[in-house]
């Protein structure tokens, strides 16, 4: 098995059918504001994995977002949710895009369409 940067990420990979023991597996750490985020490509399929923060006050929102993420996914407005884990970890289909940065979030024009 490939040795990954986080034990929790290894735990996620062995629990998803087709991932454990995959010969074609690539992991890239991504930026995140509160969680450890990874792009995981398995057999040509790219997914996004978010490991819940180890600080409960930060990871709690990840668990509470489940209903909203599922509804958005089912409506075709967001990526498909592959799996939620009791610890607050999340796996979704990967969508190419920009990651929000703290500075850009605080800037008033971040959401301005002009």
Structure confidence by residue, pLDDT tens digits, 25-59: 888 888 776 778 899 998 888 998 888 776 655 55
Query: What CA–CA distances, in Å, run from 106 to 57, 61, 68, 111?
Result: 21, 20, 24, 10
Q: What are phi and psi of 39, to 5 degrees?
A: -95, 125
Q: Which CATH superfamily is domain 7-106 in?
A: Phosphorylase Kinase; domain 1 (3.30.200.20)
Q: How confident is the model at residue 3 (pLDDT cuts 50, 70, 90)?
A: very low
Cβ proximity of 94 and 48 under 8 Å? yes
Query: Nearest-CA neighbor of 32 among 90, 79, 114?
Result: 90
């Amino acid at each position: 098995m490939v040795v990954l940067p986080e034990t929790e990420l290894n735990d996620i990979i062995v629990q998803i059918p087709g991932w454990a023991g995959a010969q074609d597996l690539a992991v890239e750490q991504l930026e995140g504001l509160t969680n450890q985020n990874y792009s995981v490509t398995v057999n040509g399929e790219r997914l996004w994995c978010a490991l819940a923060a180890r600080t409960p006050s930060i990871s709690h929102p990840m668990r509470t977002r489940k209903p909203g993420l599922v509804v958005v996914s089912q409506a075709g407005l967001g990526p498909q949710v592959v799996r939620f884990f009791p610890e607050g970890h999340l796996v979704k289909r990967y969508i190419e895009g920009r990651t929000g940065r703290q500075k850009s979030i605080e800037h008033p024009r971040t959401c301005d369409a002009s």
